[in-house]
Structure 1
Amino acid sequence: MVANRTRRLSVRNISVVILVLVVIYALVGFVGLPWWLERVLPERLEKHMGWQAEVGDIHVNPFVMSVEVLDLDAEDSDGEPVVAFDRFYTNLGVWRLVTGVVGLQNIELEEPYIRLDLLEDYSVNFARDWQANNPPAEDAPADDSDSAEPMRLQFDRFRVAGGELLFRDFSQEAQEDFRVTPLDLALNDLATWPREDSESNYYLLAAVGSQTIEWEGDLSIAPIYSRGFIKLGGVTHTTLQHFLKPYLPYQLRDGRVTLSTRYELQSADELFLTTSDGQLDIENLGLGLAGHDDELLTADRIRVGDISFGLNSRNVSTGTLDTDGVNLSLYRDADGAINLLEPFRNEADEEPADDSSDTDMPFRWTVAGVELGNSSVNWRDEQPRTGADLSLTDLSISVDELSDQLEEPVNYKADATLGGGGRVVINGQATPAPFTLEAGIAGSDIVLAQFGAYINEAANLDVRDGSLSVDGNLDLDQQQDPLTGTFSGAGEIASLDLRLGDSDERLIGWQTLRLEPIEYNVAPARLEIGTVTLAGPTVNVVRGGDGLH
């Protein structure tokens, strides 16, 4: 009896002790720890980052090992908001601690605000604030963390909802701000050590105005491995101009770019990267020159698909490059400078960059073809005395497959209407290196008056009327110096009215002049004409009082 009573008292006492410990644990967890965190968190942010922070409320549940932080706002030393969020929640997987894994089952971040500054020295504001408030100790022991095994962390579920990222770029002459909102991120089952039987997956959606980023796939940290799909949608010319300005010879003045691709990335012994199924779309492109208001090039649409790239295999291939509505405006000033080449004038005296690489593997590339339609080229020349304006409209060009095999022949075809009247069709094949060209040329009803500035430059003649038609074959070959080649065909000039530059009376004219066949050799220069047929000639010769004709 006494033993049983003693045993019951012992069990009761143990139960009371356990209950007291649970109550103390609950009080510390539910009351004490939140009170302590609300005071320590702002102090630590000020000590280690130099930020002034306020916390609305903190809740801790010691039984599920969760922490919830509400309404945090932090300002940097300049008094500008740097970090804020409405709610942060995380809970710890207790049972995984037994296996040496720190497992965070849920991490939820609602309505975060982050201000990221890229400074003039290309550092970021977070690193600057940390270094400024955490100077290295002089007697600090050497860091041997590389030899130690890193802590095993596992994130079961990570969510960012409705976030906003303000990116400010101070690295260039003019500051540019980019506000990314909404910023939604979903990441599942991510670990910091390699696991053969499991892969994490992620999804990111971010927007800068109407510009969007979509990114989804699988991700591993040790070793770094990612495979998935990424899409940049509707990226504006202002965004591209800001980031590509150091590398672009021309100004982007209009346009939107959409780029998507599948990819595989791995970083172990070496960086491995491949992309496939890429698609590039450019709409309403506009290019210009600094200091000039005129557009150099505009394009309604540029599209290329089936883009693939291999960093390690050193190759890139694309489908057909399809362009529509291209307008190129070329200009030559009185000194002979052409606007298209203006950005490269100062680079003529610079030493060429060393393109040598550590590998002897050549870079291979392939373009399935080029299709250009509904396009035009305008040419303004101020070098002749009277100035020249020429144009090609309804321009269409078709080119078959191009590749790094420059010695392979490429078939092409071009068709255009001259703005001043006439039509030209050229087709054949060419090899880029060594340069060879085979061209069938057909020109009909080409109005000569549009070339009057160049004719007047060679002689004091004014072309009032006349049209040229030509049909023949041109062969050029630059395998040896000098360039060799021949033209064979026939030509006709009809309704010619040629006058002296200071006279309104006809000097020479005819109904038709036909030359057939024509054989011209480039080097050495030689011209042979088989038959000259002239119909309805008119010649007006006047001898002046000074004896000059």
Structure 2
Amino acid sequence: MGIEMKLKKGLIAALGLTAFLAIYAFLGFYLLPALALKKLPALLQEKTGQQAQVSAIRFNPFNFTLAMEGFALAAKDGKNLVGFERLFVDLDALESAKLRGVVLDTIELANPQFNVERRADGAFNFADIQGTQAKAEPDTNNSGGESLALLIHQIAIKEGRIHWQDAASGQTVSENLLPLNLTFHELSTQAASSAMGDLSIGLESGGTIEWHGDFTIAPLASKGHLKLENIGLARSWQLFLQQILPVEIVNGLLGLQVDYALSEAAHGLLTKISNGNIDIKQLEISEKNQGKSLISVPALQVSGISVDVNQQQVDITTVSSSDAAISAWLQADGVVNYQALFAGETAASTAAQPAAPAVVDSSKPWLIKLDELALNNYSIHFFDYSLSKPLELQLSELNCKLQKFKTQDAGKLPLQLSSKFNKTGSLKVGGEMSLEPFAGSWALDVQDINLKVFQPYLDPFMKLELVDGDLSGKGSLQLTVADPLQLTFQGAAILEGLVTRDQVKNKDFLKWSNLELTGIEIDLAKQDFKLAKVMLDHPYLRFNIKKDGQTNVDDLMVSQIATKPAATAKLPAKPAVGKSAEPRISIGKIELKEGKSDFADYSLILPFVAAMNGLDGEVSGFSSDKDAEAKLALKGKVYDIASVAIKGKYQFDNGDSDIALKFTNMPLPLITPYMAEFAGYRIEKGQMALDLQYTIKQGQLAVQNKLLIDQLALGEHVENPHAVSLPLHLAIALLKDSNGKINLDFPITGSLEDPKFSIGSLLADVLVNLVTKAALSPFKMLGSLLGDDKDFSTVAFAPGSAELAVEESAKLDQLNKALLSKPDLTLEIKGIAYETLDWPAMRFEAVKDVLKKMKSGELRDKGEKVRHEYIELSDEDYQRLLAKFFGEVFPLEMDRSLLGKPRIKSNPDADFYPLAQQKLESVFPPDPQRLNDLAIARANHIAQYVTDPGGISKDRLYLLATELNHTEAAGGIKTLLSLGASQ
């Protein structure tokens, strides 16, 4: 009985266990998956607002594995947002119980797909997920206890795919990331538990992304290795960068390898990067929407990159690149293209930049270290479109090497740079520099820089063509950015084969075979500029004076339109820091070899053309130092006939000088143009020798002239209205000796700031001083003869009057005495009336003449014929006719009182007649005939005075044409007198 009962109980227990297992299996294998398959899509749609579907859900209640297949979450437009073929989860229940948490052996996601779209308005497709979330209730059961432990032995995402589509730029671009494979081992929320992971992503457009490392959740930390290979930069620009960068990346492949370490700390996230390498190939950058290429870099390598974000330090071992081409240009508005491209980026990037993590000290500058920068075979094309004719400059075969660069290091940084300039020239820079403060010491070597390329910079200012010329030079440059700027230079320069051509006449203007500058020493801070020697080999200059007196240099200058400077904000005055040093300039020696010049003066009646050649010599001691004295010794020839020699010294500080100029065997017919211009005669014959010795001391000029003229003979008269009338024939006859020679030795003294000497001016001095000083200034001569310094060339009159004042009559009395003592002199009188001074005094009579004409008309109506000139108006007639005339001219301004008395409406109480006279005078315009009559009367009064009481014969008087002066006369009302000579 007992055994049967036990068996029965055992059987019941077995049956119960079997039933439980059957129910458990039914629930686990069938019911729960079926309910989940039915309810899960609706639940997801309720939570997300999107359509969800699941093909199958399987659950094994015995080994606690879950499989979900065919999952898809679709947006309202029917496109899938996310989906996968299969999700497998394996729960380790026993280990979970031991851990008192959740332990998953495996989470495996097969063939997941993620579709990410950014629409034209910038919104993402995932923003459509708008399901309502239940408000989180506070956890009243957990009073600060530990969170549930989680351990996952393996997570795997296999053959994933991410589709990215972006329409925010106005055009739709897309990229597929596939396959995406990710594995994690031993991922845990337990402290200091580290998971190892691997990630690999392929890009449909080319390239791969790989990651290998570990990851810790608590605390958050990670370290590992990241590798990017053959990433297409053009596609990356299209997808992510075109709204950030102002330029377009047309082509390029990016390779990157880097080790990193991230760790969470109390004050922020600690970040370090090490063993970094960047490899960029076939990089092409151009302007957005323009197609103009900006930068082409076939290869760029950056190696040995280390970054400590928290210490704000970047270390780079090498940066190397080769065969790159860079294009830059100055736009028509004067802005460099790169400056224009990035002008709006600075403010935008500053505004968009997130706040720095707390661990980074924003006040601390970043320290950047670069062991070596090497650029090889670079080329730079520069275009200047701000000029009317665009200019192109090219640096090719550019090599640059910089070592031991540090942003916070005052140490020396070696720099080497070399390049070709426009294919024919070259430049080299080698030396060291430091950054704080910026300073450098470099050796410069410039060779064969052709100046013709810079022609567009000259065109706006001069009509001069740079035909040829090469600049070379070597030297050492030292620079320190300070206040004041410290800059020194020592070296030499050569400008070979300079040829410039006048674009107006298409003739050579200035040229030389060679210009050498040696011993150049410049100290900008001290304002010290030194040249040991300047040598000009075969210099040539063409200088012409045109018919209008301007020169060929004036023709070359392009007129500059003055522009009003833009208003600028007033800057605060700088504190006085003491007077800056005056520039000190010194040139040891200026040497000329075989100089030539072509000189022509077409402003003369007869053009003068002279060629000077064989100019040799030197000027030494040129300096701005006090008491510095320059010595000069030059010699040359004119037309290979006459010799010219200049020798002497000049002191720059005070202008003291002692110069000797010597001409020998100068044919006087060569200077005929100057004689014709001055006196109106050709020179037929003659030869001149001139010794000129002039000395300037303390501003006083002393010139000793020794002039020998042999066999001088004047030729025919040349019509020249500007020639000075000189009694040359008489003077020459008086000065010649029995041998036909004129030997003069005459001094010139005076105070001259800038004396200029030429053959023409010297001859003018001789003739004027010895022959015609009195003829050129006759009234001054008369004044000295009479012992009076009055101006006898004018006679003054009162406004509107032709009567001689007492003072002017007395002056004419003195003039009469002088004329009587010089019977060959004639007197010319030019009567003048001044509209602005004379007419106001004549308007009263003009109004009165109108009244007389009105009276004459009244008499004519009565049968009496009396010309108005002979009418004398009574006071009654004057007032009556004045009122009548005023009423005719100003009818609206006049009325009469009850008694018939005229009055002015605007001032009825005032005396009518003076105001009416004044107002009528104001509307009378100047009468040229009256003024001319006044000028004639003045001239006649003078003529009558000097002939009747003065006793001058009338045949010695000439009345010139009168003159009506319409402008203000600063010197008062004057009639002009001039003297002539009877023939």
TM-score, scaled relative to structure 1: 0.90
For each residue in 1:237-263, what CA deviation from the matched residue of structure 2 results, as whole angstroms up to 9, or x when unmatched?
331454344543433333222222111
Quote the residue 2:324 is aligned against. Answer: 326
Shift of 1:61: 2.0
Q: Distance in 2 between matches of 1:534 and 1:156?
A: 90
More helix by share: 2
Q: Distance in 2 between matches of 1:448 and 1:455?
A: 11
Quote the residue 1:506 is aligned against. Answer: 508
**Structure 1 residues 382 and 97 mapped into 2: Cα distance closer, same or farther (>3 Å)?**
closer
**Structure 1 residues 407 and 247 mapped into 2: Cα distance closer, same or farther (>3 Å)?**
farther
For each residue in 1:13-52, what CA deviation from the matched residue of structure 2 results, as whole angstroms up to 9, or x when unmatched?
3223222322332233222233222212222222222232
1:423 corresponds, among 396, 421, 426, to 426
Shift of 1:391: 0.9
Quote the residue 1:286 is aligned against. Answer: 284
Decide which moves more: 70-79 or 306-315: 70-79
Quote the residue 1:477 is aligned against. Answer: 480
Alignment of 1:53-202 (within 5 A): 53-99=52-98, 100-117=100-117, 126=126, 129=129, 132-137=130-135, 141-142=137-138, 147-169=144-166, 176-194=173-191, 196=192, 198-202=193-197
Matched, 1:253 2:250: yes
For each residue in 1:348-396, what CA deviation from the matched residue of structure 2 results, as whole angstroms up to 9, or x when unmatched?
9999879997565543221112111111111111333433211111111
Shift of 1:220: 1.4
Q: Is the 8 A contact 1:456 1:501 kept in 2?
A: no
AA matched with 1:528: K
**Structure 1 residues 384 and 84 mapped into 2: Cα distance closer, same or farther (>3 Å)?**
closer
**Structure 1 residues 352 and 135 mapped into 2: Cα distance closer, same or farther (>3 Å)?**
closer
Shift of 1:232: 2.5
Q: Is the 8 A contact 1:371 1:396 kept in 2?
A: yes
Matched, 1:13 2:8: no
2:203 corresponds, among 192, 197, 208, to 208
AA matched with 1:218: D
Q: Distance in 1 between matches of 2:310 and 2:119?
A: 33
AA matched with 1:296: L
Q: Distance in 1 between matches of 2:154 and 2:349?
A: 53
Q: Distance in 2 between matches of 1:56 and 1:299?
A: 52
Q: Secondary structure at the match of 2:327?
A: strand
**Structure 1 residues 358 and 77 mapped into 2: Cα distance closer, same or farther (>3 Å)?**
same
Q: Is the 8 A contact 2:174 2:239 kept in 1?
A: no
Matched, 1:374 2:377: yes
AA matched with 1:54: Q
Q: Distance in 2 between matches of 1:81 and 1:351?
A: 35
Q: Is the 8 A contact 1:280 1:305 kept in 2?
A: yes
Q: Distance in 2 between matches of 1:351 and 1:33?
A: 54
Decide which moves more: 213-222 or 231-240: 231-240
**Structure 1 residues 420 and 306 mapped into 2: Cα distance closer, same or farther (>3 Å)?**
closer
Q: RMSD of aligned C-alpha atoms?
A: 2.9
Quote the residue 1:230 is aligned against. Answer: 226
TM-score, scaled relative to structure 2: 0.52
Q: Distance in 1 between matches of 2:152 and 2:110?
A: 17
Matched, 1:266 2:263: yes
Question: Relative CO higher for 1 or 2, CA cutoff 8 Å, sep ≥ 6?
Answer: 1
Q: Is the 8 A contact 2:81 2:126 kept in 1?
A: no
1:537 corresponds, among 536, 539, 543, to 539
Quote the residue 2:530 is aligned against. Answer: 528
Decide which moves more: 344-353 or 490-499: 344-353
Q: Which sections of structure 1, spanning at least 5 residues, go unmatched?
A: none
Shift of 1:136: 4.0
**Structure 1 residues 386 and 51 mapped into 2: Cα distance closer, same or farther (>3 Å)?**
closer
AA matched with 2:53: E
Alignment of 1:374-523 (within 5 A): 374-419=377-422, 421-481=424-484, 483-523=485-525
Shift of 1:113: 1.2
Q: How many residues align?
A: 541
**Structure 1 residues 448 and 122 mapped into 2: Cα distance closer, same or farther (>3 Å)?**
closer
Q: Distance in 1 between matches of 2:228 and 2:505?
A: 63
Q: Is the 8 A contact 1:91 1:106 kept in 2?
A: yes
Q: Is the 8 A contact 1:199 1:218 kept in 2?
A: yes
Q: Distance in 2 between matches of 1:334 and 1:327?
A: 23
For each residue in 1:309-363, what CA deviation from the matched residue of structure 2 results, as whole angstroms up to 9, or x when unmatched?
1122221111111121222212113331211210344579999879997565543
For each residue in 1:166-217, what CA deviation from the matched residue of structure 2 results, as whole angstroms up to 9, or x when unmatched?
23457766665332211111111111222x4x53111111122213221111
Shift of 1:527: 3.4
Quote the residue 1:42 is aligned against. Answer: 41
Shift of 1:226: 1.0
Determine which structure has more spread, i.e. the larger CA radius of gyration.
Answer: 2
AA matched with 1:409: K
Q: Is the 8 A contact 2:75 2:128 kept in 1?
A: no
Q: Distance in 2 between matches of 1:466 and 1:544?
A: 29
Q: Is the 8 A contact 1:436 1:479 kept in 2?
A: no
Shift of 1:544: 4.4
Q: Is the 8 A contact 1:61 1:67 kept in 2?
A: yes
Q: Distance in 2 between matches of 1:397 and 1:472?
A: 19
Q: Is the 8 A contact 1:473 1:489 kept in 2?
A: yes
Q: Distance in 2 between matches of 1:191 and 1:123?
A: 35
AA matched with 1:67: L
For each residue in 1:373-420, what CA deviation from the matched residue of structure 2 results, as whole angstroms up to 9, or x when unmatched?
111111111333433211111111111121122532211011000115
Q: Is the 8 A contact 2:237 2:248 kept in 1?
A: no
More strand by share: 1
Decide which moves more: 239-248 or 200-209: 239-248
Q: Distance in 2 between matches of 1:151 and 1:143?
A: 14
**Structure 1 residues 335 and 526 mapped into 2: Cα distance closer, same or farther (>3 Å)?**
farther
Quote the residue 2:659 is aligned against. Answer: none
Q: Is the 8 A contact 2:166 2:239 kept in 1?
A: no
**Structure 1 residues 334 and 98 mapped into 2: Cα distance closer, same or farther (>3 Å)?**
closer
For each residue in 1:231-290, what CA deviation from the matched residue of structure 2 results, as whole angstroms up to 9, or x when unmatched?
233332331454344543433333222222111111242311111001112222233334
Q: Between the two proteins, what is the percent identity of the paired residues?
A: 25
Q: Is the 8 A contact 1:420 1:447 kept in 2?
A: no
Q: Is the 8 A contact 1:517 1:530 kept in 2?
A: yes
**Structure 1 residues 118 and 326 mapped into 2: Cα distance closer, same or farther (>3 Å)?**
same
AA matched with 2:222: S
AA matched with 2:161: E
Decide which moves more: 455-464 or 172-181: 172-181
Q: Is the 8 A contact 1:230 1:261 kept in 2?
A: yes
AA matched with 1:230: L
AA matched with 1:489: G
